[in-house]
Amino acid sequence: MAEPQRIRHGSSLGQPITRRDGVLKVTGQARYAADNHPPGLLHAVLATSRIARGRVASLDVAAARAHPGVVAVMTPENRPPLAMDPDDKSVPFSFKLDLLQNDRVRYPGQPIAVVIAETLEAATEGAALLAPRYEAEPASVSLDDAEPFVPPMIGVGDPAEAHHGDVDAGLAAAAQRIDATYETPTQFHNAMEPHGVVASWDGDRLSLDMPTQGLAMTQMRLAALFGIPAEGIHIRSPFIGGGFGSKLLSGPQALGILAARLVGRPVKLVLTRAQMYGPVSHRAPTRQRLRLGTAEDGALTALDHHVRAATSRFDDFIEPSASISHTLYAAPAIATRTEAVRLDAGTPGFMRAPGEASGSIALESAIDEMAAACGMDPLAFRLRNYAEVEPVSGKPFSSKALRECYAEGAARFGWDGRPLAPRQMRDEQGLLVGWGMGTATFPAMMFHGEARAVIRRDGTGLVETGAHDMGQGAWTALAQIAADSLGLNLAQLEFRSGSSDLPNAGLAGGSTHTATAGGAVHAAGTQAIARLTEVAVADPRSPLFGAGNVGVVARDGRLVRWDDESRSESFADILGRAGLPEIEARGSAAGDAAAMEHYAMHAHGAVFAEVKVDPELGQIRATRLVGAFAAGRIINPRLVRSQYYGGMIWGVSFALHEGAVLDPRTGRVMNADLAEYHVPVNADVPSVEAILVEEEDPHVNALGIKGVGEIGITGTAGAVANAVWHATGVRVRRFPIAIEQLIGGKEA
Amino acid sequence: MNRFDYIRPGTVAEAVSAAAVPGSAYLAAGTNLLDLMKIGVARPERLVDLNYLPGLDAIEALPDGGVRIGARVRNADLAQDPGFRRRFPAVAEALLSGASGQLRNMATVGGNLLQRTRCPYFQDTASACNRRAPGSGCDARGGENRLHAVLGWSEACIATHPSDFCVPLVALGAVVEIAGPAGPREVPLADFHLLPGATPERESVLAPGELVTALRLPAEAAGFAAHARYVKLRERTSYAFAVVSAAAALRIEDGRIAAARLALGGVAAKPWRAEAAEAALVGAAPDAAAFQQAAEIALAEARPSGDNAFKIELARRIARRALRLAAAGTPERLPALPASPFAPLSGGLHG
Ligand SMILES: Cc1cc2nc3c(=O)[nH]c(=O)nc-3n(C[C@H](O)[C@H](O)[C@H](O)COP(=O)(O)OP(=O)(O)OC[C@H]3O[C@@H](n4cnc5c(N)ncnc54)[C@H](O)[C@@H]3O)c2cc1C
Ligand code: SF4
């Protein structure tokens, strides 16, 4: 409803255009990786480890091979050679891979063999017939099972400790203090589309249909692994059924590629849902202790955030949960410290808002507890501690419309009049009602991206970049940017993407993709127009002759003089007269180092949640969510809103539903399917609203884009948890909140 | 999935003789059986497909006022049948609270009765499980067991039966009709599922080859229609198995309980009828004190089998809730969130 005023004449930017591939998807015509069936295709199925640590003592390869339809069994004995050790991490963001390099088992669900057969069914049964025997060693399963250590870095290069001010002094001087410990569970990736690949070799050339969030980087990683030139690897990834950080680089898919090499035929490998709970990375479990102190007036005197996070025994990814405490609330003293423990689990990795999501639910809970201890409204408390500059770095923000988010969100939700004390509200049928809030934030980052733009003889345009549409609508938003940069409408533009033979668009991760690929597309288009302009203004026969390079603007397929709208010429006429078949330009975009040095760059938001809780039975339902977010320039409000909705729903999941259940003895995931690994269903999310708060950011990048993919989950999880407290008076610090934590011995 | 023979019998007699061969399994909608075959838990050598058997798909009103439901009737069709729904509202509510719309459209009456436990160790062939592999042990003991049984469990097995449908059925005295190599017989549903004892692999009284042909609800079950409810506690609002659940049905005459039925779900290896609690309710006023007492009696024998002591208290509370809702009267229309604590109530929680 609020959409129309955003539509500006002649511009695609800011318009709520529906996904360009929407019809293909809802009619089943979009071809995902696993939909490809090249002639001669064989099916590969993984056999995965049932123990967490030890070695595979035997596999009944003969039984598997004897099963009708089975073509080959790949084990460490016969796996084709690789040009490098899969434990060698040659490219950024890569992890050690389990590619049958030996008989060691280092986590449950690790691939230990691959069966290749004429049919999926035969390969599946062949894998079952392998009946592995193991020599198991005792496994470390929980955060208390191993000695913690301070890692050299956390996340992708942040220090494990950061300080500003004197936290001990701040706490000592505080009038009020809280000291609370929160626990977040292991969460597994459950994108709709499981990881898969269809691989064919032709000599040393490799052709792949494979969902990836990082075409160029995957190409590099595979080239190094297989010892072949990157240009010889063609990856097609036109549609991705959800990535969320799990499809940045080829993980287990490399086994499908190896299988194709082994049998000399095209091979398809698709993980089963249960196999997603092993080799594709996950969100690490954390335990977070927060100590906060405030002066009489509710101003924070100190914030201390201590994280213990799990990583694997053999590789490092340390969930950077405390980083969020560096930016969100003003305090004269802030300290964060992270320690890690090594568990016999797969290596954790990136999962939507890695670090921010788990850190946010702890920090926002602690802020809520602190506000309650001060007898203050949680919104008033947050405003009291509003950070005008980024607290730990001391840098000014490139832009920060968080106050507006608080105000607009609170107004829309109806926050005013919320009773301070918990257990004060009931609905008409006696259910407890609670309201909670949280602040959302996510850094605005960028990678390096490239694009190519062409203005064709017939006046139409072509823009290409190897970008990734994971369902978020990148194709649509990038095409909007491309069309504007060329002064064309969308119908006059051909936009190509999702393939490794196109210019490198960077990774689709870290909420950077629109800024990075969009920045590159914008640069390429603008450059192409500049070249076209040079041709026109230098031509005495053009009505634009003598206008000068900056004297024209591209609109509706024409160059128009700024100072005289009546003088214009179509692209086709300019090229035709100049006898040029087309004009081509390349463009690139990357973060501005100088700006990053000067400014802290973050998107912000405020999320308000209502939950209802059955007072006797303890069942919880999030009944209403309102989020207001400021994330710089909004290219397509419809797509952005759906990113916020998805993030917010994940926040509900984080607080109330989602978590792996590990067997305490073996570390195996006991709920590795979508019946038992709960994510919210429609009935769990009756009402979600996302408000787009205006924000102009002149520093963050040329287009002023901050990224919206991950922020929605932050703030929301804490808001829901805080609402549960407000409904029941019970503060649950272990997530997801379980019924038994609420009912205790008495009524909730 | 293992290779198997597939047989499509045309009559009940053919089905029974085909399934009498060891290693056979009946295939109804397969929403449970095929899943178990895919993960290697069930490995039948031959599937005897029930989907083409004539005569098992009717909902018949019986002359005595009861109803017979064919074993092939789909869960959704039964729940949506207007006559059935009006006369046995708690059964319809239980059906509609189970699984998802897609599954209910497939799943059959017979399959729902005979669905296997959701115990994660049962579903994982690498784990020790006496139910799946007799004598191998029980990895649920000392493992993840917060949702396991609190009634009727044994040292050998602490699993629960997951069905919602069976809970009001057992409360209302349903009878299972069976065809088999030795001829037809019938068994009250209350005696149909077996508690684990030392032989958890024996889940029901069915002998090899025996086929459930129908379920019958007696005429007197319809006498509870005005006061019959099912309530299910879940860890999400829909599409989740019960943590605990309860079916309650009352006949109220002159402000007193003339007859009462109460059964619990999610607490034992069978749908758990609480007859002693029912008896205590008869003659009482339908009030909080009576319901509290009935709930205490129903759970008197309960013991935790692991990290699940909380389920005992929850089971008491859900029993009370079901009784209170039943006393308040069956709603005119089934709520949009059937059996959910979040379904709109007449009179409120404390009414
Ligand atoms: C994700 C998921 C969620 C679910 N949630 C719930 C829930 O919340 N509540 C709930 O109650 N259920 C739930 N279910 C279980 C569902 O109700 C059962 O899968 C279904 O009822 C089984 O019926 P079917 O016809 O598919 O049986 P099948 O899978 O075909 O058979 C199940 C078993 O019954 C045997 N069998 C079938 N018919 C007969 C017969 N006539 N005579 C003798 N033996 C027979 C089969 O041999 C097999 O052993 C869920 C299932 C899934 C997959
Ligand atoms: S509880 Fe029963 S079903 Fe579960 S592992 Fe033990 S024996 Fe098997």
Q: What is the CATH number of the domain that holds B42?
A: 3.30.43.10
- Has residue B188 been placed in a domain? no
Summarised one tens digit per residue, pLDDT across range B76-109 is 999 999 999 999 999 999 999 999 999 999 999 9
User: Do A460 and A423 share a structural domain?
Assistant: no
Q: With bands split at pLDDT 50, 70 and 90, how would you rate the model's confidence at B346?
A: low
Q: Å from B294 to nearest chain A CA? A: 17
pLDDT confidence of residue A12: 87
For residue A517, the tally of other CB atoms under 10 A from its CB is 31
From chain B, pick out residues whose CB is under 8 angstroms from the CB of A682: 238
Question: Is A624 near chain B, with CB under 8 Å?
Answer: no
Number of domains, chain A: 2
Residue B203 scores a pLDDT above 60: yes
List chain B residues with CB under 8 Å of A612. Answer: 342
Q: Which of A590, A618, A641 is the last residue of a domain?
A: A590
Does some domain include residue B245? yes
CA A390, A391, A392, A395 dihedral sign is positive
Ligand 1 mutation target, pool B24, B27, B32, most atoms within 8 A of CB: B32
My answer on whether A512 and A637 are in the same domain is no
Q: Which of A296, A710, A740, A747 is catalytic?
A: A710
pLDDT at B350 over 80: no
Task: Evaluate whether residue A260 is within a structural domain.
Answer: no
A676 touches chain B (CB under 8 A): yes
Interchain proximity B350–A430, CB inside 8 Å: yes
What gap in Å lies between CA A230 and CA A489, rounded to an integer? 35
CA of B110 to the centre of ligand 1 (A): 8
Which residue's CA lies nearest to atom 6 of ligand 1?
B99
H/E segment holding residue A176? strand A176-184
The verdict on B116 touching A (C-beta cutoff 8 Å) is no
Ramachandran region, residue A471 (left: φ > 0; alpha: ψ -120 to 50; beta: rest): left
Q: What is the mean pLDDT of chain B?
A: 96
pLDDT at B344: 80
B276 in the Ramachandran plot: left (φ > 0), alpha (ψ -120 to 50) or beta? Answer: alpha
Q: Is A66 on the interface with B (CB under 8 A)?
A: no
Rounded distance between C-alpha atoms, residue A108 and residue A97, angstroms = 14
Q: Is residue A429 part of a domain?
A: yes
Structural domain count of chain B: 2
pLDDT reported for residue B2: 80
Ligand nearest to the CA of B164: 1
In angstroms, what CA-CA distances link A596 with A398, B115, B198? 9, 59, 69
A555, A469: one domain: yes
Residues A683 and A604 in one domain: yes
Residue B121 within any structural domain of the chain: no
Q: Which residue in chain B has the smallest CA separation from A275?
A: B39
Please choose from B41, B125, B138 the residue to mutate so as to test ligand 2's pocket, defined by most ligand atoms within 8 A of CB. B138
CA A62 to chain centroid, in Å, comes to 43
**Distance (Å) of CA A274 to CA A29, A196, B74:** 27, 14, 28
Write down the pLDDT at residue B93. Answer: 97
B126 touches chain A (CB under 8 A): yes
If you measure CA to CA, which chain B residue comes closest to A68?
Answer: B3
CATH of the domain at B308: 3.30.390.50
pTM above 0.90, yes or no: yes
Mark which of A539, A567, A590 sits at the end of a domain.
A590
Is A292 inside any structural domain?
A: no
Does residue B304 fall inside a structural domain?
A: yes
Shared domain for A493 and A478, answered yes or no, is: yes
pLDDT along chain A (748 residues), means of 10: 39 91 94 97 98 98 98 98 91 88 98 98 96 97 97 94 97 98 98 97 98 95 96 97 90 96 98 96 98 98 98 97 97 98 97 98 98 98 98 97 98 98 96 98 97 98 97 95 95 97 95 96 97 95 86 92 91 97 98 96 98 97 98 97 98 98 96 96 95 97 96 98 98 97 67
Task: Kindly determine whether residue B349 and residue A616, on different chains, have CB atoms separated by under 8 Å.
Answer: yes
Q: What is the 3-state secondary structure (H, E, C) of A614-657?
A: CCCCCCEEEEEEEEEEECECCCCHHHHHHHHHHHHHHHHHHHHC
Mark whether A605 and A698 lie in a shared domain. Answer: yes
User: Does residue A715 fall inside a structural domain?
Assistant: yes
A712 domain residue, yes or no: yes
Q: Do A483 and A561 share a domain, yes or no?
A: yes
Does residue A465 share a domain with residue A526?
A: yes
- Chain B: residue nearest A125 by CA? B1
Cβ–Cβ contact B264 with A under 8 A: no
Judgement on whether residues A630 and A729 belong to the same structural domain of the protein: yes
| A611 and A690 together in one domain | yes
Task: Identify the residues whose C-beta falls under 6 Å from ligand 1.
Answer: A 675; B 25-33, 35, 50, 71, 98-99, 103, 106-108, 110-112, 114-115, 162-165, 211-212, 241
Residues A507 and A555 in one domain: yes
Domain boundary among A575, A590, A605: A590
- Residue B85's alpha-carbon distances to B59, B90, B112, B326, B331, in angstroms, are 12, 8, 18, 15, 12
Q: Give the Å distance between the CA of B324 and the centre of ligand 1.
A: 30
Q: Is residue B217 part of a domain?
A: no
Q: Give nearest CA residue, ligand 2 atom 3.
A: B122
Task: Output the pLDDT for position A10.
Answer: 63
Q: What range does the domain containing B33 cover?
A: 1-53
Are B143 and A665 inside 8 Å of each other by CB? Answer: yes
- Secondary element (H or E) of residue A412: helix A402-413
Residue B280 falls inside a structural domain = yes
Residue B235 within any structural domain of the chain: yes
Residue A204, domain member (yes or no):
no
DSSP run (H or E) holding A714? helix A713-728
Query: Is the same domain home to A615 and A676?
Result: yes
CATH code of the domain in which A686 resides: 3.30.365.10
A3 classed as catalytic: no
Interchain CB contact of A43 with B (< 8 Å): no
CA distance B270 to B176: 14
Structural domain that includes position A554 = 22-29+448-590
Ligand 1 center to residue A681 CA distance, Å? 21
Q: How many residues does chain B have?
A: 351
Residue A2 is predicted with a pLDDT of 35
CB contact under 8 A, A740 and B146: yes
* Centroid of ligand 2 to alpha carbon of B160 (angstroms): 9
DSSP state of A690: E
Residues across chain A: 748
